Amino acid sequence: MQPDLVNRILITGGAGFIGSHLADALLRLGNYVVAVDNLETGTLANIVHLKDNPNFRFVEANILDGTALQPLVESVDYIFHLAASVGVELVLEKSLDTLKNNTFGTDIVLKLAQHCGNKKVVLTSTSEVYGNSVEIPFREDSALNIGPPHIARWGYAVSKLYDEFLAMSYYQEMGLPITICRLFNTVGPRQSGRYGMVLPRFVSQATLNVPITVYGDGLQTRCFTHVRDVADAMVRISHLSAAEGEIFNLGSQNEITIDDLANLVKKTLNSESDIVYVPYSEAYQNDFVDIRHRVPDISKIKTYIEYHPSPDLASIVLDIAKYSLDD
């Protein structure tokens, strides 16, 4: 990546897995980064390597606290808004908090961005907004098929889709410069399996030589992308005025079944773990609904920036395992 103009940048959720890698990418370019996080799912361990960097500042605060957030927004040139409740297990356990954090928090961030001089906002959304869309791969203009409200997992999808509608309304009615990135299964060092993230959970189990637990039949497919590729793409797209008012899928098109992923992790790490299959009703809730296939169409973003996500999933597995051992 070539250096760009130096800016003062706010990252909400900056102590999170993706937020911390985004901070790394921005600091490499000489930018000044302010990371704000309430440390609910983020952790200081993710940013400990930045504590002595004079161009980095961490503020522990909740984005629902507009009074704490306003001076931070006033002090920067633009914002990456990543703060949200994430992870299947957390979403199911705290569905009400998920809805409040993801919708009210985004409303506060966008309102302050507009109030403080129409600061550019890059909003991270999720592949979950596609729901169980029958159109594969998912395109940014695909029809969305989100399930009913009595199934808790869809609350996360709806909250993030609401964020998108809110952001586009600010763009269309207020002229607030907005770019939306829908992320697909971003993985890499610093990601925790604590809230249901599948790859770090598999890596941890394989490293400990305990059973690798596959939920469901293992035939569901996903496309995994290294967090560094995602962070670099977000930085690149943030500088393009032509990308304002646009939605972009960010991910890989290298589709793999969860069963094959478990076997890949086991083989790559020379693990003695058995692979066992756990019904969704035991892992989550009786009414849990999984998305069978999740594959992005990434042709749109490739027309705006150079974007070539690494296809080497085994290297990503080793990267995660090395970080876990060093931690």
The backbone torsions φ and ψ at residue 89, rounded to the nearest 5 degrees and listed phi first, read -65, -40
Catalytic residue among 78, 156, 215, 307: 156
Q: Is 195 a catalytic residue?
A: no
- Tokens linked to 78: 């633009």
Question: Which residues have C-beta within 8 Å of that of residue 69, sequence separation ≥ 6?
Answer: 36, 61, 63, 108, 109, 112
CB atoms near residue 143 (< 10 Å): 11
Nearest to 211 by CA among 257, 273, 143: 273
| DSSP collapsed to 3 states, the chain | CCCCCCCEEEEECCCCHHHHHHHHHHHHCCCEEEEEECCCCCCHHHCHHHCCCCCEEEEECCCCCHHHHHHHHHCCCEEEECCCCCCHHHHHHCHHHHHHHHHHHHHHHHHHHHHCCCCEEEEEEEHHHHECCCCCCECCCCCCECCCCCCCHHHHHHHHHHHHHHHHHHHHHHCCCEEEEEECCEECCCCCCCCCCHHHHHHHHHHHCCCEEEECCCCCEEECEEHHHHHHHHHHHHCCHHHCCEEEEECCCCEEEHHHHHHHHHHHCCCCCCEEEECHHHHCCCCCCCCCECCECCHHHHCCCCCCCCCCHHHHHHHHHHHHHHC
Whether residue 20 contacts residue 53, with contact meaning beta carbons closer than 8 Å, is answered with no
> Which residues are annotated as catalytic?
156
